[in-house]
């Protein structure tokens, strides 16, 4: 009974999460000799303020990336999720 656990930063749409669940399920089904109903996929969403890399939270990294150094801000919403 395969179980896959995915930890991901919050911010994806329900549709994106559903696609992720489906694609992971299909990959396990193709790769492992098991029945579809035995595959478990769990997604843990973590708030961006609770996940740090290099002593910066993902929220802080995104805020820093919203300024390109020239004083002209970039729209943080247009940045891809980390």
Supply the residues annotated as catalytic: 2
Residues 42, 55: contact at Cβ < 8 Å? no
Q: Give the SS3 label for residue 61.
A: helix
Cβ atoms of residues 51 and 10 within 8 Å: no
Q: Which two tokens stand for residue 22?
A: 């489906």
């Amino acid at each position: 009974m395969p179980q896959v656990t995915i930890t991901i930063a919050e911010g994806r749409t329900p549709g994106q999460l559903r696609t992720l669940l489906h694609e992971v399920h299909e990959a396990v089904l193709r790769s492992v000799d098991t029945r579809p109903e035995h595959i478990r996929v769990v997604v843990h969403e973590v708030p961006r303020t609770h996940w740090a890399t290099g002593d910066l939270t993902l929220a802080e990294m995104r805020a820093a990336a919203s300024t390109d150094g020239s004083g002209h801000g970039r729209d943080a919403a247009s940045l891809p999720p980390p």
